[in-house]
Amino acid sequence: MKRNIIITGGAGFIGSHVVRLFVNKYPEYNIINLDKLTYAGNLANLKDIEDKPNYKFVKMDICDFEGVLKLMQDNHVDGIIHLAAESHVDRSIKDPFTFAQTNVMGTLSMLQAAKLYWESLPEKWEGKRFYHISTDEVYGALELTHPEGVKPPFSTKASSDQHLAYGEKFFTEDLKYQPHSPYSAAKASSDHFVRAFHDTYGMPTIVTNCSNNYGPYQFPEKLIPLFINNIRHRKPLPVYGKGENVRDWLYVVDHARAIDTIFHQGKVAETYNIGGFNEWKNIDIIHVLINTVDRLLGRKEGEDMDLITYVTDRAGHDMRYAIDSTKLQRELGWEPSLQFEEGIELTVKWYLDNQEWMDNVTSGDYMKYYEDMYANR
């Protein structure tokens, strides 16, 4: 079946993996990558598919309601996969307005344009889908009730059999939203708007909430690429607080695979959590990163441990995220394809092999932002 799909934020980290997957897997679809190209958007992430006949890039702000509506009309768009957002918690603490503008007003602009266009068609909502990509951070924070670790209730390919969870509670789809950062508050608000468009107008929407992603093309303000680059250049590794905070990590390609499954088979108006039961304390991940970078660069494994530098904690730092993705696994049969150890090896290798990509995104304005941020800590 032919489809015309807008993927917003397709030049960013996760979006570029979703665009690549859809362009390669569905040559019969027209894929339109709508992206404003903020500091986090980079067309170099899509070099390998930019000339494919079923791919088109459009530089546009999701807040440009008139532009978005015209784009949908001109291209007979029947599917939207909405990833464009401001995504970094530390930036949201410094500049919450931009997060409200992009994540809330931008999502509303996408929803309203889709509503006006789809309602104007004879078949209206039939065959249409508005798929909103959200985050586990909207659920708030879980406690570290078992700092020594307990066996998780399920095991998946993402985590080895011996891998542990750091509490007995998990984020499930029915949990009340309790966002703490301006980033997660803005994402929560956008999720509410998406559900409101289903409940009020009947728009066929889906929302998914995913855990922390890692992999190639992630902007190096986030923990994993930032630390790989710093270890390589023997720069300090700024660990917030005691490094005890826990995140649940999923390889980005597995998130893109889940998005593909849910876009095609997910039930309208449903929410699906996406994650791999793969919890790690930050400090343990940092040890893995140091050992892996050292080994791959031919250094003595662990010789860069002294780069670890404990700094002032992030304001409102959520202690633990842990996603329960059994609904998605049970109902749609998705599961992670990679174990964390394999994924992290691939990821470190990718950043070390792609120093030019890293140099391009860490020059100029970004370096100034990064230096200012740490000067203030």
By CB under 6 A, residue 212 contacts ligand NAD:
yes
Q: Which of residues 310-329 bind ligand DAU (CB under 6 A)?
A: 314, 321
What sign for the dihedral angle of Cα 183, 118, 9, 346?
Answer: positive
Q: Which residue number places its CB atom closest to ligand NAD?
A: 12
Q: Which of 40, 80, 186, 307 binds ligand NAD (CB under 6 A)?
A: 40
From candidates 5, 23, 62, 226, binder to ligand NAD by CB under 6 A: 62
Report the DSSP pairing between strands 246-251 and 279-281.
antiparallel
Q: How many CA atoms lie within 13 Å of 343's alpha carbon, on the beta-carbon side?
A: 24
Q: Of residues 5, 89, 108, 293, which one binds ligand DAU by CB under 6 A? A: 89
> Minimum distance from CB of 213 to ligand DAU (Å)?
7
Which of 55, 139, 166, 183 is catalytic? The answer is: 183
Among 5, 6, 7, 15, binds ligand NAD (CB under 6 A): 15
Query: Among the options 137, 191, 279, 304, which is catalytic?
Result: 137
- Return the residue of 5, 23, 32, 41 that touches ligand NAD, per CB under 6 A: 41
| Known catalytic membership, residue 137 | yes
Handedness of CA 360, 365, 371, 374 (dihedral sign): negative
183 in catalytic set: yes
Q: How many residues bind ligand NAD (CB under 6 A)?
A: 30
Among positions 7, 9, 294, 320, the unique one binding ligand NAD when judged by CB under 6 A: 9
Q: What is the CA radius of gyration of the chain?
A: 20
Query: CA 116, 121, 123: angle at the middle one, nearest 5?
Result: 125
Q: Residue 31 contacts by C-beta under 8 Å, 6 or more apart in sequence? A: 5, 7, 10, 19, 22, 23, 54, 55, 56
State how far the Cα of 149 lies from the Cα of 277, in Å rounded to an integer.
Answer: 13
| Rounded Cα–Cα distance for residues 348 and 228 (Å) | 7
Chain positions 214 to 243 lying near ligand NAD, rule: CB under 6 A, are: 219
Structure tokens that stand for 298 in this block: 């031919």
Question: Which residue in this structure is represented by tokens 């004879």?
Answer: 122
Q: Could you give the residue numbers annotated as active site?
A: 136-137, 183
Residues that bind ligand NAD (CB under 6 A): 8-9, 11-15, 35-38, 40-41, 61-63, 83-87, 102, 106, 133, 135, 187, 210, 212-213, 219
Residues that bind ligand DAU (CB under 6 A): 87-89, 135-137, 211-212, 222-223, 226, 238-240, 245, 247, 282, 314, 321
